[in-house]
Amino acid sequence: MNGTSSGPTNAAPRPRRRKRETASIAGAHADVIHRATQLLLRTLRSPSDEVPLLQRKDLAERLAKISADTGPGGHVRFAELDYESAVRAHFWDHMPDLRPHLGTWAASVVDLHDPHVVPAVRDGLVTHLAGQYLRTGRGDGLASLAERWSTEAPSRARLEAAFQALTRGLEDPAHGREFRKRIYQWCLHGRLRGEFAEVLVRICADVLAASHPDQALLRLYYLARRESAPAQPALKALHDLVAGSRRLRRRLLHRLARYDLTSPDLSIFLRICDPEPLTDSSDTSRTLVEENGVRHSLTTCWHAVLAELPRAAWQSHAARWLHRAADSTGHRGELLLDILVRAAAQCGERRGEVLAALYASAREAERTAPGGPARSAETTELLLHKIGVAQGLNPAAPPPASAKGTQP
């Protein structure tokens, strides 16, 4: 038989069943094949073999009837080249009533507590099942199956199976775009039950980011906005994604500043507003903070933070900016101070209160400055001068040196 054969059609019922499972997890240990067969019978609610155990044909004889045998280590294989793929296609195409049950059966197999059910066996089963969905244009069915595996009594094995299924869909040339669109809809406003959000975070961070980083950024952003768990895996994945790309960090900042910032948006901004990558010039002659558009986005976001959050929520983040400004960053450090003061000065009737809180935060940050309190105190003086300029109390040019001033 060659690789194009559709497989025999007049075999006895039980060898046909044995072919189905063997073709789906060929290469697995014979014990796994046997247990998988029993699980499929149970899933289909088929009557069990009533022949007494000692009178049944042994496993080797039953495998021989479907042109299979066991190789070294007891792993099952088909004797003829490409026979397993032909068998899978045959049963999928000619027994459509089985299709709705195969997802339930596959989930049961990957959940088996058996030393022979190794990751390669689980991945192979999911790959073969996904291949049939995709081969016959049923990407929506595969996507729904991955969602079901993640929500109905999810286990670590089922979550891994869901991840593998979505990976196969994303990597398929004919269905990749469909899966990217579906993942977008899930992340934006899908009902994420069970552990499905965890699977989506991983698929965006580990798979989609490699081929479509901008799309991964947007999907992780939507997931992060919906998070309520303390661990916040989507926010962490979003932070890690922009940490490796100036372009993606710039894009996320522009995204945050484009609309009214909600409470989740403020949390995202505070997580990704690390001043070091904003002032890092190691790979470029122009840092992010030196770009007009980035400074505008940073000012908009800091204004929302200072206007809407209590000082306790932003104190530590402002301290990091002040410490960075006190470091040897030159005019880039001064740009950080400009952003903070401009953001505070836009707080309307609360402007004086917010500017005073910013100055008090600078004084407190002096005690924890990595470069020592003396250099940090000079930064506080410069900040105070800029606050005075914003209030119309000081000339624009900063003094060359001065003693500590008083709180505005």
DSSP 63-105: HHTTTEEE-GGGBEEESSTTHHHHHHHHHHHH-GGGHHHHHHH
Rounded distance, CA 155 to CA 50, Å?
Answer: 33
Tell me: the pLDDT tens digits for 138-179?
Answer: 999 999 999 999 998 889 999 999 999 999 999 999 999 999
Greater confidence, 264 or 45? 264
Residue 60 pLDDT exceeds 80:
no
Name residue 69's beta-bridge partners.
77
Domain limits, the chain: 257-393+404-408
70 bridge partner residues: 76
Q: Which of 8-12, 173-177, 191-195 has the highest mean pLDDT?
A: 173-177
Alpha-carbon distance of 142 to 139, in angstroms, equals 5
pLDDT in tens, 248-307: 999 999 999 999 999 999 999 999 999 999 999 888 789 999 999 999 999 999 999 999
Q: DSSP label at 58?
A: P
Residue 113 has pLDDT above 60, yes or no: yes
Q: Highest-confidence range of 61-65, 105-109, 348-352, by mean pLDDT?
A: 348-352
Helix (H, G, I), strand (E, B) or coil at 261: coil
Helices (H) and strands (E) in the chain, counts: 21, 2
Q: Pick the residue with more confidence: 36 or 321?
A: 321
Which residue type is seen at 125?
L
Write out pLDDT tens, residues 319-337. 999 999 998 677 899 999 9
Residues 369-389 pLDDT 10s: 988 888 899 999 999 999 999
Pair 39, 125: CB distance under 8 Å: no
Mean pLDDT over the full length of the chain = 82
Position with higher pLDDT, 49 vs 306: 306
